[in-house]
Chain A
Amino acid sequence: MTEPLVIGLDEANARALATSLGGELLVQSAVDGCSTDWRWADALESWRNGANAGPKAEHIVVALFPEVLEPAALDTIDLGGWVERSEVALARWIAALGVAQQRCADGGSITAIIDRVAPLDCAGRSTETAVSDAVEALVRSLGRSEGARGVRVNLVTTPARLTTLPVVDPQPPLAAFPGSIEDQIIPTCRMLLSDDASALTSTVIHVDGGRSWR
């Protein structure tokens, strides 16, 4: 396996992921503010269009880990908070996956990694759940559009950063829940990047110790 291009934010998890996988980190540009009129999206669009011009890569990992915010019921989130927590986050993923689509070589693979709480634990996480479900659909869309040129596109989800313990019963089957990016996510990512996953595309792997069953 060649070293992947890792697309991430300017933060520790993305850097550690790139180091562990031996790949280059392409940092997505910062977003200035979170206005409701999407002025901040100009920077993301410019970043995407510029990054699209880079060289092709056989394997690309997209791992956006924004700052984790406190859980909040939807009714308690104001519009600015809604935009910050959901719309900015989704726009970031669209930009990053757009670059991955453009730069992944024929026959290569794209693996996305996203924070996601299990359905049992999603109260207070409507914004994060919206974004993770959206990314699931984006990955499946790319799996369909890029399959014709042999590109595999898959998603790994992790509750590690978003889950607040203890969780409601029944407890997850595996004691390792909610796991960690280092111990559970990176090995899963390696499997998806390898030839062992040659028939896997549009697949979503919830690495959450059995907390999710779909």
Chain B
Amino acid sequence: MNSVNTENTKVVLITGASGGVGAGVALACASAGWTTWIMARRAAEAQQIADQATLQGGSARIFIGDVGDPESVQAAIARIIKTDGRLDGIVHNATSGLSPIPTSLAEVPFEDVADHVRVSLRGTYLLAAAGHPHLVATQGSFVALTSEAGFEGKARLPVYAAVKAAQRGVVRSLAREWGPTGARANCVAPLASTPAMTAAFAHDPAMASRVLARNPLDRLGDAEADIGPVVRFLLSDESRYVNGMTIMADGGSCPIT
């Protein structure tokens, strides 16, 4: 088993980390003693997670910004480099606030499509493009939080499913483009109890039974205890030979083997 001491200096950026899965990832990284940058739009909530992360043994900082805005992404990474001198990992977790809202392709307003694309897909591009040189310097890792929806589609969330799938496509290409530089890129497809999942269940009451009935573990994952460690693994040196993959952290819910 590797010593965690060699990784105490890891510095990671996590988007959308003021709640839900992103917060769970931030706390899991903090528990390993890492420096965690929480990038979010909600300052109070981000600070709350940062305070909790610091209590759990990490060093947490916040950057209030918009992952779909190139200037914001560049400023976040510049701040990290200026403050900590390095960037070992990027986790793109933020998704559109419209993610749990049911729609159809025949009727969805393109303003809504743009929001999905801007946060999930353009955010992936902006973070990868701006972060790559720094990840090369640290032989670091990029992780995108995708979804089982990106494999199997969702009848009432087709645009969400599309942008989640698109992230997997980008990461697959990044793994091949970045490989010679030593930087890695992977995805995690989580199934967790989050505010977004709660909202989705509220919009579609039958969704809860659809989600849980097929789950062999018969429960939703916990963002910090079940999802966070999987993402932390992909950020760590222990996964240094894992590249271009999507790890399903869903209790066996989505039967992709």
Q: Which residues of A contact B (CB under 8 A)?
A: 38, 41-42, 44-45, 48, 52, 73-75, 77, 79, 82-83, 86-87, 90-91, 94-95, 97-99, 101-102, 119, 122-126, 129-145, 202
Contacts and interface: CB of A to CB of B under 8 A. Distances in A.
Contact of B106 (A91, A102, A129): A102
B122, B153, B157, B169 — most chain A CB neighbours (10 Å): B169
B161 A137 contact: yes
B177 A73 contact: yes
B114 A126 contact: no
Given A94-B159, A142-B158, A130 B110 contact: no
A82 B125 contact: yes
Interface string B168-187: 11101110110000000000
Nearest to A73: B177
Given A74-B129, A79-B126, 16 more contacts: A38-B110, A45-B110, A75-B128, A75-B132, A77-B125, A83-B122, A90-B117, A94-B162, A98-B105, A125-B173, A133-B169, A134-B166, A137-B162, A138-B161, A141-B155, A144-B155
A42 B89 CA distance: 37
A144 B153 CA distance: 8
Interface string B127-162: 011001000000000000000011111111111011
A77 B173 CA distance: 13
Contacts of A131: 166, 169
A98 B104 contact: yes
Nearest to A136: B165
B109 interface: yes
A173 to B, nearest CB: 21
A140 B157 CA distance: 11
A42 B176 contact: no
A37 to B, nearest CB: 8
Contact of B153 (A90, A95, A137): A137
Nearest to A129: B169
A98 B107 contact: yes
A137 B108 contact: no
A142 B159 CA distance: 11
Given A94-B105, A101-B105, A141 B157 contact: yes
Contacts of B132: 75
Contacts of A143: 153
Contacts of A123: 173, 176-177
Nearest to B128: A74
B57 interface: no
A140 B153 contact: yes
B35 interface: no
Given A94-B159, A133-B165, A134-B166, A145 B104 contact: yes
The 10 closest A-B CB pairs, nearest first, are A140-B153, A141-B153, A133-B169, A126-B173, A137-B165, A141-B158, A98-B105, A144-B155, A129-B169, A145-B155
Contacts of A141: 105, 153-155, 157-158, 161-162
A135 B153 CA distance: 10
B106 A52 contact: yes
Contact of A142 (B105, B117, B150, B176): B105
B70 interface: yes
A134 to B, nearest CB: 4
Q: Which of B70, B122, B126, B155 has the most CB of A within 10 A?
A: B155
